[in-house]
Amino acid sequence: MTFADFALPFLPEILVLVGVLLVLLLDVFGVKRIEVFGSITVGATLLALLFVVADLGFLPFAALSTVPASRIDIPLAVVGTPLYSFTSLGFVFQAIFLSATLLVSLASMSRSSYEKGAGVFYALVGMATLGMLLVGIASDLIFLLLAIEVTAISTYLLVGYTRRDPRSLEAAMKFYVIGALSTVISFFGASLLFGAYGSTNLYYLRSVGGAVGYPTLILLGYGLLIAGLAFKVTLVPFHAWAVDVYDGAPSDVSAFLAGGTKKIGLFAFFLVFLGPVLFFTTTGTSNPFNAGVLNTGPIFQIVLGVLAVVTMTVGNVLALMQKEMKRMLAYSSISQVGYMMIGIVIATSPAIAGATLQIFSHTFMKTGAFLVVAAVASLGIGPLISDWKGLGQRRPWLSIAFALILLSLAGVPLTVGFVSKFVLFSSAVQAQGYFIWLAVAGLLNSAISVFYYGRVLKVMFFDAPDPEPEATVAGPSPPVSERLSMGGLGYARASTIALIAVVIVTFGIFPQVILGPIQSAAQHFLIAGP
């Protein structure tokens, strides 16, 4: 194997790394303009995204693919047991991660040009992205946890990088302490699994299943991993940090956390828990891997299923009670994770595809939502939902974009959020048995969520804005051109939000374009994934 053979498949990762180094270097040499750092990160991410999409085989980019087809979706037993492997689903997730980075990097260029720490911000975003990309190709438990940690440490710093705002510093501190604790738990679980299996290779773990003689170690190990990963993805009752952190962090960073980095935990769930979910279920007759040592019944399905339902319900009910926009979005983000977990619980290819599509759409929706919050804050509008009164009149286009995002979050047809929920819930119905209750729980929760999303729509479009302070009452209302322009938001942020709205509607109308590749990736993943 030549060096090129070895290195080329990692081209996306290398591109992102080069971007990070370039940003750091320029920062050291005294470049201050945020546009420079932003352009570098956007450029690197865009190139990386191009190659990842090429790896997925999308025409007309397929020719650019740097990973030979013989190395994609190949069961690991064939090629040995390295730390990484290339799966289509991993590429899909890498594309999702890169999209999140791209959107956040693009939008952040609208901040004040000479803001202090812009270089640090983009370097951290880049490094977090690198960690996320590595999660996408991990096939070893330790490699996976380390990759998660690369992202996590970058995000701890991101939350507090402004340093001026005590709220965001406090949030960073909380995030760090809790994150460290969850890391410890995850690694402890991993070490127990190593004790039981003598390996940390995920494919090996999955293929051996319960057929080793240490059921207690296996149960403890996977149990601790559930807890550790549950922090990353904010499953209830491990969610408490998320709201404070999303609320305290700068909105751009919240967008990155909710839209991007949180999703690595979900892919980690796919990587680690397909084995337990699929194979620790029955007495072994239907299961080639399970020699009957760990006849526990479908306990992992039940535990993860309960966590999923509790998460979506608690997230929704608490979102219903929020008065602040960012906290409402944070809780809605928590509840959405509950939907995504359905895919892991059911673990059929439509379910995995549905969850992946839901993660894809949520990345756009939640990134977009937090970016709109950032944009609205930059207009001098307060943090409460009621402060958004009459935004529909003052900023019609921004409001329409936000309305689209909310409708998609609620799962209204002709948005991508509808398609992903439909695929997810219909996969639960397809799986029959008690899985149908997951679909029922999901649907009831979607019905609840309509209320709090609808309330925001009502506030924006139907409530008259509060009378302005006296100084402006006498003045003429702003001319139409000003009301319709994105002025004040910054072109980068405005165009990012517009891009998100376009994506939401485009894939809502033509879902098969992405649903097809995702479904085939999910099918391959069930066969060849770790």
Binding site for other proteins (CB under 8 A): 170, 173-174, 177-178, 181-182, 185, 219, 223-224, 226-227, 230-231, 237-238, 240-241, 244, 281-283, 295-303, 306-307, 317-318, 321, 348-351, 353-354, 413, 419, 422-423, 426-427, 429-434, 436, 439-440, 443-444, 447, 462, 511-512, 515, 519, 522-523
Min dist CB 290 to other proteins, Å, is 12
Q: Which residue, among 509, 340, 483, 342, has the nearest Cα to 419 in the 3D structure?
A: 509
Residue 140's beta-bridge partner residues? 201
Sign of CA dihedral 494, 498, 501, 507: negative
Give the DSSP per-residue string, 72-117.
BS--HHHH---SB-B-HHHHHHHHHHHHHHHHHHHHHTTS-TT-TT
CB atoms within 10 A of CB 326: 24
Min dist CB 444 to other proteins, Å, is 7
Q: Considering beta carbons, is residue 68 or 292 the nearer one to other proteins?
A: 292
Q: How far apart are the C-alpha atoms of 10 and 528, rounded to whole Å?
A: 20
Q: Considering beta carbons, is residue 69 or 429 the nearer one to other proteins?
A: 429
At 175, the amino acid letter reads F
Q: How far apart are the C-alpha atoms of 83 and 480, rounded to whole Å?
A: 58
Q: How far apart are the C-alpha atoms of 143 and 8, rounded to whole Å?
A: 20
Q: Considering beta carbons, is residue 87 or 182 the nearer one to other proteins?
A: 182
Q: Considering beta carbons, is residue 120 or 310 the nearer one to other proteins?
A: 310
Taking CA 24 as the corner, what is the angle to CA 20 and CA 29, rounded to the nearest 5 degrees? 145
**Torsion angle of alpha carbons 199, 203, 206, 212, nearest 10°?**
-30
Q: Considering beta carbons, is residue 9 or 517 the nearer one to other proteins?
A: 517
Min dist CB 356 to other proteins, Å, is 12
Min dist CB 163 to other proteins, Å, is 17
- Residue 62's contacts (CB-CB under 8 Å, 6 or more residues apart) are 54
Q: Considering beta carbons, is residue 101 or 332 the nearer one to other proteins?
A: 332
Q: Considering beta carbons, is residue 64 or 181 the nearer one to other proteins?
A: 181
DSSP code, position 131? H
Q: Considering beta carbons, is residue 245 or 371 the nearer one to other proteins?
A: 245
Min dist CB 318 to other proteins, Å, is 8
Min dist CB 358 to other proteins, Å, is 13
Task: Output the six-digit token pair for 111.
Answer: 């901040």
Min dist CB 174 to other proteins, Å, is 5
Q: Considering beta carbons, is residue 105 or 186 the nearer one to other proteins?
A: 186
Distance of CA 393 to the CA centre of its chain: 32
Min dist CB 222 to other proteins, Å, is 8
Return the exposure string of 332-348: e unless at least 16 CB atoms fall within 10 Å of the residue's CB, then b.
Answer: bbbbbbbbbbbbbbbbb
Q: Which residue, among 497, 250, 502, has the nearest Cα to 367 in the 3D structure?
A: 497
Min dist CB 400 to other proteins, Å, is 10
Q: Considering beta carbons, is residue 490 or 508 the nearer one to other proteins?
A: 508
CB atoms within 10 A of CB 291: 13
For residues 486 and 429, the answer to whether their CB atoms sit within 8 Å is: no
Min dist CB 392 to other proteins, Å, is 11
Q: How far apart are the C-alpha atoms of 53 and 196, rounded to whole Å?
A: 38
Q: Considering beta carbons, is residue 282 or 506 the nearer one to other proteins?
A: 282
**Torsion angle of alpha carbons 445, 233, 419, 523, nearest 10°?**
-130
Min dist CB 196 to other proteins, Å, is 15
Taking CA 104 as the corner, what is the angle to CA 101 and CA 105, rounded to the nearest 5 degrees? 80
The CA distances from residue 95 to 306, 449, 521, in Å, are: 30, 28, 13
At 242, the amino acid letter reads A
